[in-house]
Amino acid sequence: GEDVEQSLFLSVREGDSSVINCTYTDSSSTYLYWYKQEPGAGLQLLTYIFSNMDMKQDQRLTVLLNKKDKHLSLRIADTQTGDSAIYFCAESYGGSQGNLIFGKGTKLSVKP
């Protein structure tokens, strides 16, 4: 069945770049998403990319999509302590309005 895989932990120093990786299985996914979850909070939509794009940049965030390898990455430039959170990769199942399939989340720790 559909599956989304992410590494569970990432630790970086403040000011460095963070790269969070994700692989997915559903080749019909129309949208691929990155969400951020801070402790005790809901999910905040960070950015998303259409499946016909290779790259999307939004301020400090860069999303790269390799459709051939079904690999998605999120790069956070100049990582700050406020970026410490869990980051979830998600693919839409069955089209643009389908439910989301989430990875288990990558916990990003930013050390000062």
Note the residues at the interface with another protein (CB under 8 A): 30-31, 33, 35, 41-45, 48, 88, 90, 93-94, 96-105
We find the least distance from the C-beta atom of residue 73 to another protein, in angstroms, to be 19
DSSP E strand boundaries for the chain: 4-6, 9-13, 18-24, 31-37, 43-50, 55-58, 61-66, 71-76, 85-92, 100-102, 106-111
Residue 97 phi, psi dihedral angles, 5° rounding: -105, 10
**Closer of 48 and 64 to another protein (Cβ):** 48
User: Quick one: 32 or 79, whose CB is closer to another protein?
Assistant: 32
Q: How far is the CB of 34 from another protein (least distance, A)?
A: 11
Minimum distance of another protein from residue 56's CB (angstroms): 13
Q: State the CB neighbour count (10 A cutoff) for residue 59.
A: 8
Looking at the Cβ atoms of 18 and 106, the one nearer to another protein is 106
